[in-house]
């Protein structure tokens, strides 16, 4: 390619521009610089390796550089908004992680390959993707694990193929990602036993479903038959059975605590939970459990509270898929306008719950 000769700027102006390039100074004015040895032009803030001064030519704008025979840098992308550039960088890194989830992607290595600092990359990756690079890699590995398990691969092989390195590493993650052990996931939750019982409350029939670790299902319904059907749908493959007689005393204690809670007499019932959901759902639900009694938040406020301000719609979906009423208080999330919004178990129940909490909070100073 032939590079057209360019009339030099006065030395003082070129020197100022060169200093801006050396210091990656974004406030030094609108110009680009071309490198005659590569035929590429960049903005002064480009993170590429600095060329020799004698190989650099300066231009007032990208059009002038291209007219002189230079082509745009694929890293700094002159003329493209910085936010769009970072979005492309982050999406490309995410694609690399998705392509090789078993590979170890250290933040330092990702930052080095992208040309940004670790802090800058981590902050922007989380803002754009919704999770840190480490969290994203864990999720990618879990997707690979699920794929391998669905192919009937031996559990140990699937774990190592997904890049976890050891069975202990994946068992640290299963509650948040699979919602069950790898063996249970592969078999469609076969072997998992859920016992259920129902009772009357001020807000209607309430069913509790529990594993040996705690309550995994707590929902209102029109009939026990409908609730059992819903329990079976949500935990397809599990063995669903009526609560054994040996556990009736425990069930009565739970129901008593829930009824007291519904009457505003026990603001914070301490019952064991076996929460199952995606990593994002768990983040939302844990945040809701920390909300003060009688407090409400908008979907946007919850999204901001978990560090994902653009995820209001995803927060709404997490609330809608909550399987544990009351104990994960999704009824405390309302629309930004102040309207109650939706509620899985009916808007009337939501209104009564909020009114009860507000009244008891005011009277008792909870």
Assign residue 355 the CATH number of its domain: 1.10.10.10
Residues 180 and 204 in one domain: no
Q: Which of 187, 209, 227 is the last residue of a domain?
A: 187
Q: Residue for token digits 């072997």? A: 191
Q: Name the H helices within 187-276.
A: 224-234, 248-262
Confidence of residue 8 (pLDDT cuts 50, 70, 90): very low
Residue with the larger pLDDT of the pair 164 and 272: 272
Residues 110 and 180 in one domain: yes
Of 19-28, 36-45, 128-137, 171-180, the one with minimum mean pLDDT is 171-180
Residues 174 and 93 in one domain: yes
DSSP state of 332: G
Output the average pLDDT for the chain.
81
Confidence of residue 192 (pLDDT cuts 50, 70, 90): confident
Q: Is 11 exposed, middle or buried (0-12, 13-18, 19+ CB in 10 A)?
A: exposed
Residues 6+ apart with CB under 8 A from 283: 306
Residue 163, pLDDT above cutoff 60: no
* Residue 274 counted as domain residue: no
Confidence of residue 152 (pLDDT cuts 50, 70, 90): low
Assign residue 136 the CATH number of its domain: 1.10.10.60
Report the C-alpha gap between 316 and 303 in whole angstroms: 9
Report the C-alpha gap between 231 and 300 in whole angstroms: 30
Residues 299 and 209 in one domain: no
Residues 6+ apart with CB under 8 A from 38: 51
pLDDT in tens, 171-185: 445 444 444 454 554
Rg (CA), the chain: 29
Query: How many structural domains are present in the chain?
Result: 4
Assign residue 19 the CATH number of its domain: 3.40.10.10
Residue with the larger pLDDT of the pair 65 and 279: 65
Angle at 272 between CA 278 and CA 289, to 5 degrees: 55
- Distance from first CA to last CA of the chain, Å, rounded? 76
* Residue 273 counted as domain residue: no
Of 104-108, 262-266, 274-278, 334-338, the one with minimum mean pLDDT is 274-278
Of 26-30, 71-75, 81-85, 140-144, the one with minimum mean pLDDT is 81-85
Sign of CA dihedral 10, 12, 16, 18: positive
- Whether residue 327 contacts residue 209, with contact meaning beta carbons closer than 8 Å, is answered with no
Strand partners, 221: 205
Residues 233 and 292 in one domain: no
Report the C-alpha gap between 182 and 325 in whole angstroms: 27
Residues 137 and 224 in one domain: no
Residues 146 and 183 in one domain: yes
Residue 137 tokens, joined: 């890699």
Q: Which of 26, 42, 72 is the last residue of a domain?
A: 72
* Residue 295 counted as domain residue: yes
Residues 105 and 18 in one domain: no
Residues 6+ apart with CB under 8 A from 168: none
Q: Where are any strands of DSSP class E within the chain?
A: 32-35, 40-42, 56-59, 71-72, 193-201, 204-211, 214-221, 239-242, 297-298, 333-334
Residues 177 and 88 in one domain: yes
Q: What is the rounded average pLDDT of the residues 141-146?
A: 70
Residues 93 and 178 in one domain: yes
Which are the catalytic amino acids?
42, 330
Residues 107 and 149 in one domain: yes
Assign residue 238 the CATH number of its domain: 3.30.160.70
For the packed helices 133-150 and 118-129, what is the interaxial angle rounded to 10 degrees?
A: 50
pTM as predicted: 0.52
* Residue 39 counted as domain residue: yes
DSSP state of 331: G
The dihedrals phi and psi of 81, each to the nearest 5 degrees, come to: -55, 140
- Whether residue 129 contacts residue 86, with contact meaning beta carbons closer than 8 Å, is answered with no
What pLDDT shows up at residue 190?
56
- Whether residue 257 contacts residue 269, with contact meaning beta carbons closer than 8 Å, is answered with yes
Q: Which of 24, 45, 72 is the last residue of a domain?
A: 72
Residues 243 and 288 in one domain: no
Angle at 97 between CA 93 and CA 98, to 5 degrees: 115
Query: Of 173, 268, 251, which Cα lies nearest the Cα of 217?
Result: 251
Query: Of 53, 117, 57, 124, which Cα lies nearest the Cα of 85?
Result: 124
What is the domain extent for residue 151?
Answer: 81-187
What pLDDT shows up at residue 7?
46
* Residue 5 counted as domain residue: no
* Residue 267 counted as domain residue: no
Residue 317 tokens, joined: 């979906």
């Amino acid at each position: 390619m032939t590079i057209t000769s360019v009339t030099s700027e006065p030395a003082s102006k070129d020197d100022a521009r060169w200093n801006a390039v050396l210091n990656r100074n974004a406030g030094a004015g609108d110009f680009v610089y071309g490198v005659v040895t590569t035929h590429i032009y960049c903005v002064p803030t480009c993170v590429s390796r600095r060329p020799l001064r004698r190989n650099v030519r300066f231009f007032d704008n990208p059009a002038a550089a291209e007219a002189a025979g230079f082509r745009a840098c694929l890293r700094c992308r002159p003329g493209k908004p910085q936010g769009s550039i970072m979005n492309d960088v982050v999406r490309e890194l995410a694609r690399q992680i998705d392509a090789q989830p078993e590979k170890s992607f250290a933040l330092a290595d990702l930052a080095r390959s992208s040309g940004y600092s670790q802090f800058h990359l981590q902050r922007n990756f989380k803002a754009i993707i919704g999770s840190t690079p480490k969290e994203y890699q864990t999720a990618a590995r879990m997707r690979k694990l699920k794929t391998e398990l669905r192919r009937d691969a031996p559990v140990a092989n699937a774990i190592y193929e997904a890049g976890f390195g050891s069975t202990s590493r994946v068992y640290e993650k299963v509650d948040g990602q699979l919602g069950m052990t790898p063996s249970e996931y592969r078999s469609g939750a076969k072997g998992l036993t859920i016992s259920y019982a129902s009772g009357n409350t001020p807000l209607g029939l309430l069913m509790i479903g529990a594993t040996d670790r705690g309550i995994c299902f707590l929902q209102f319904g029109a009939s026990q038959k409908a609730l059992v059907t819903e329990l079976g749908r949500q935990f397809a493959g599990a063995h669903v059975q009526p609560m054994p007689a040996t556990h009736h005393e425990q069930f009565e204690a739970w129901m008593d605590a829930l009824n007291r809670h519904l009457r505003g007499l026990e603001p914070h019932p301490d019952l064991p939970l076996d929460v199952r959901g995606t990593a994002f759902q768990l983040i939302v639900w844990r945040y809701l459990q920390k909300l003060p009694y009688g407090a409400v938040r908008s979907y946007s406020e919850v999204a901001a509270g978990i560090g994902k301000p653009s995820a209001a719609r995803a927060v709404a979906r997490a609330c809608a898929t909550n399987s544990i009423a009351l104990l994960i208080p999704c009824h405390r999330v309302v629309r930004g306008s102040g309207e109650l919004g939706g509620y899985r178990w009916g808007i009337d129940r939501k209104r009564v719950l909020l009114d009860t909490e507000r009244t008891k909070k005011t009277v008792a100073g909870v």
